[in-house]
Structure 1
């Protein structure tokens, strides 16, 4: 069976076969996917004459007659393609839809009754005809050639076992913008139009991936939103047809992030990649890559504000095996091992001949910085070793960042909170302590957004096991309202000069508290995994053990414990028949399990951390099973980003 990395390569090969002599227009998610496959030069060396952003302000010169559009094929993007074509002089246009054409057909014909076309499986062919006729009309020439194809460009593979989906980085387990833990069944129409479209699009992309990898899946899910994605994937006509021809059995487990928000809002980070993601800004237009300040290598003016840096560096370098290994280490190895790995690689290009890695007891950010600085202005060396220099600078900037000091302070606060909750289950001091931190944040140099992340962490950690008093919550709400008013320019930056009023801040604070109470209720639908606070193996104190970690341990356990909280989509009517037959027989029913299949894909809707990926991967390795387990999510996420997703700020 092919890996997801090979699947992604195969998709890009389809694109590279069509770009010779073309101007290529990409939307942001496709551009991000391209970066993780090798970047811009893959297109230029493959024969593209120019590469541009999919923007209504872009066009091409009259000597360029061929265009390739790589797009999610939304209605807005199709209007943009119309603008570009009308402002250019193309005679040959190829539209590559990264989303399955049956979903595009539904959206093109929104409001019309297209049930027959969808159920008969004719939707992809009808969408192709519709899009081709639109392209011909926009080109407006008798002699023109058009082509519409679907290529599922939606995955990136940071390592051989992890994959992420940039087009769906904004997808979050909410129902019409609200968090819900209700056990009553929900359907697609309980979502907003945009949310409904995102669910269909994600399900269709997962279906395309399974098709190209020849996988026939048993679908499991945990959480209401994941149940909807699973339902669309299970029941869509294209999925049903695909399962008839695919032969490799696999288990696909889809999980809602909202069931456990502790892991993504904690400041206790061992993985250095998580530290980098929390400290450095995102690379422009990207959801999973950071912007590294490269000015220490340049003989130009040194800027202190990264916004002023014209060409930031990054961490992932798809065409450099040495850098790929370092990136893998940044997820799976300790900080000390990553530092020695970077020092070892940098020492081979060191023009000042610093001490060899074997003679050093400890590698510090200063040690790395010294070697990097020695390459300043030496553009021959920089060009040859650009990848490792960018990675080293990213780590140095992270470990020297003021945000690291802040993270360490928040780490110690988190530990105190966990200890006080675990010791007595007493909630009285916790909210009082956080309220005091909010009021004194400026003296301690704490950012309000980090304290909000801490609040999400605490409410998710306690779940329904601890009930906070109304008095303490009211006091917290008042402190938040004042803090939001004082910090609104940094919390909600806008250039319009609009002034936020105290009344609006009161309202925001009230909404935040409502969301936090919702967060505490998320696991009430679970039985086995309702608690994430577990006694330490040493017998002293408690520790956090996440829902994903608990689930993985049970899934890969060869003793096959009950998976009470994991629903299986495929059993459907068979379950009802079995339950009826159980009246007549005392035999125990033989329930399907994810471990029955050689391949298991665990997919988290709403983001994941590098640390979680590392722990899940280690659990699989130490279990001794020989099944292949792949870990997927919509994005890598930092505590502040996770907080904004949850609180909708």
Structure 2
């Protein structure tokens, strides 16, 4: 109800008269509440701007939340840099490089951190747009161009070099601003964003990003050719205890990301002794890995309920892993009631590789379909007697039922979080398929692979985080 109240306030400010649609069980509850709540009904009587609002359940497609698809620098920045204290989305940018302080200690807190939000700096805002909308290679070239322009404006001795942009090259350009207080003040916002890019590109987790991407592509091929037990057995040798892991091996959190990817992409699984046995082996390996950890990460502390390895027992680790696998089975069943959007896996053929087809993309393509078929899984939520009569009469005679593509404004609300790649995908799809339609993507949070895992396995549903 709090969410519906907030949406109603937003729609009042925009002067909207919306039609509500839902994809998924929780979305249906929210859309029905918005359709029937008294303030929203009063607003719709007088508002003039028509819009379609489609609520989509995140749990129907968690591959989009935990996958490493997309060559997007903004997504990597948000995934690898530490969160800015007191913020849900913004990150901390280490500013030591712009000072005379010589330290390699990343935990040094003498210098206040920078951040991504730079509303008063047009160059920084333009660069952040580039990070979100361009490929990584093009985005770092934009970062270099902005730095060169800023340095030229301040008459700094910059040597322009062509070719591939490296983090070291960007760092050397940043150093030019260090001893010039006026230049530093004029371009502080831009420098924070370029530093964020440099620190992301140098971060060890970024090199893992490509490993994840390669393994996820392999999973898509394997899932098309093999049953789930066989896929789980391939995962087993990769689960290593702390003492045997190198910096290139996957951690416990990384395996949770891969497991969610697997169970969400494969959909409903045939239960049986073979699957139970394969899951049991993976569970044992994960329990051993947890018990061997010298320090519990914040996520492991939340999952196991223990703040230190000294308090962790084998039983507690087993219970935590059992609970995770119960949730994974639920994730696999999430689309079983869907008729049209029941698969997000394209098994491929002799000529095409297996691929992931995002549920959100399928929904938008259905909305923008020029043939305007009656959507099977996009359910219209009636807001009063007129809509109910329309629905009833349509069974006996030709009555045009509301369609999500009817209006010039399309608002998509992802219930449970959305990623930057998905927002860009929706924007590009609508611009191509239905030019002239304005699209707004809303959500409860901006997701990264590890934040999605925390929301799935380490959040107390009865004590929700109300400060989102």
Q: Equivalent residue for 2:245?
A: 442
- Which of 416, 428, 435 is residue 618 of structure 1 equivalent to? 428
- Aligned residue for 1:400? 202
The 5-angstrom pairing of residues 180-219 of structure 1 reads 200-219=1-20
What is the deviation of 1:376? 2.3
Structure-2 separation of matches of 1:582 and 1:497: 63
For the 8 Å contact 1:225–1:256, the answer to whether it is kept is yes
Q: CA deviation at 1:634?
A: 1.4
Query: Residue 340 of structure 2 contacts residue 376 of structure 2 at CA under 8 Å; is this kept in 1?
Result: yes
Q: Does the 8 A contact of 1:332 with 1:614 survive in 2?
A: yes
Aligned residue number for residue 176 of structure 2: 374
Instruction: Give the equivalent residue in structure 1 for 2:114.
Output: 313
Match of 1:511 in 2: 323
Instruction: Note the alpha carbon deviations across 1:255-313, whole angstroms, 9 max, x for none.
Output: 11111000110123311111111111111111111111111111124253246354111
* Distance in 1, Cα, partners of 2:441 & 2:351: 31
Verify: 1:268 aligned to 2:69, yes or no: yes
Q: CA deviation at 1:499?
A: 1.2
Distance 1:353 1:538 in 2: 53
Find the residue that maps to 1:515 and give its secondary structure: helix
Q: Is the 8 A contact 1:608 1:637 kept in 2?
A: yes
What is the aligned partner in structure 1 of residue 266 from structure 2? 462
For residues 520-555 of structure 1, the C-alpha deviation after alignment (integer angstroms, 9 at most, x for no partner) is 011112111110012569941221011101101111
Q: 1:453 aligns with which of 219, 238, 257?
A: 257
Q: Distance in 2 between matches of 1:539 and 1:573?
A: 52
**What residue number does 2:160 align with?**
355
- Contact persistence 2:345–2:354 (CA under 8 A): yes
2:140 maps to which residue?
Answer: 339
Task: Give the aligned partner of residue 289 of structure 2.
Answer: 483
Alpha carbons of structure 1 residues 410 and 469: separation in structure 2 relative to 1, 3 Å? same
| d(CA) in 2 for partners of 1:482, 1:554 | 46
TM-score by length of 2: 0.89
| Aligned partner of residue 523 in structure 1, secondary structure | coil
Equivalents in 2 of 1:628, 1:582: separation in Å?
Answer: 29
2: CA distance between counterparts of 1:439 and 1:429? Answer: 19
Distance 2:40 2:11 in 1: 9
Deviation at 1:221, TM superposition (A): 1.0
1:565 equivalent in structure 2: 377
Structure 2 SS opposite 1:480: helix
Aligned-partner Cα distance in 1 for 2:21–2:350: 34
Instruction: Determine the structure 1 residue equivalent to 2:337.
Output: 525
The answer as to 2:231 corresponding to 1:430 is: yes
CA distance in 2, matches of 1:618, 1:580: 36
1:237 is displaced (CA, Å) by: 1.7
1:384 corresponds, among 186, 190, 193, to: 186
Give the structure 1 partner of residue 466 of structure 2.
none
1:15-414 matches, cutoff 5 A:
200-306=1-107, 308=109, 310-350=111-151, 351-356=156-161, 360-414=162-216
In 2 relative to 1, CA 521–574 (structure 1 residues): closer, same or farther, beyond 3 Å? farther
SS at match of 2:90: coil
**Matching residue of 2:301:** 492
The 3-state SS of whatever aligns with 1:636 is coil
Distance 1:404 1:415 in 2: 17
Contact 1:534 1:545 in 2 (8 A): yes
* Pair 1:537–1:306, CA change in 2 (3 A): farther
> 1:512 aligns to what SS in structure 2?
helix
Residue 572 of structure 1 deviates from its aligned partner by 6.3
Give the C-alpha shift of residue 209 in structure 1: 0.6
Counterpart-to-counterpart distance in 2, 1:625 and 1:362: 35
Q: From the superposition, tell whether residues 572 and 464 of structure 1 become closer, same or farther in structure 2 (CA, over 3 Å).
A: farther
* CA gap 1:473/1:573 in 2 versus in 1, 3 angstroms: farther
Note the C-alpha offset of 1:496.
7.2
Return closer, same or farther for 1:396/1:458 CA change in 2, 3 Å cut-off: same
Question: Which blocks of at least 5 consecutive residues in structure 1 are unaligned?
Answer: 1-199
Residues 562 and 537 from structure 1, CA distance in 2 versus in 1: closer, same or farther, beyond 3 angstroms?
farther
Alpha-carbon distance change, 447 to 376 in structure 1, aligned in 2, over 3 angstroms: farther
Distance 1:276 1:591, change over 3 A: same
Describe the SS at the equivalent of 1:629. Answer: strand
Q: 1:579 to 1:296 in 2, by over 3 A?
A: closer
Q: Bigger shift: 479-488 or 250-259? A: 479-488
Contact 1:296–1:302 under 8 Å retained in 2: no
* Distance change >3 Å, CA 579–CA 336, structure 1 → 2: closer
- Name the counterpart of 1:602: 412
Check conservation: 1:293, 1:306, Cα contact below 8 A.
no
Task: List 4+ stretches of structure 1 deviating above 3 A.
Answer: 465-468, 493-498, 535-539, 571-583
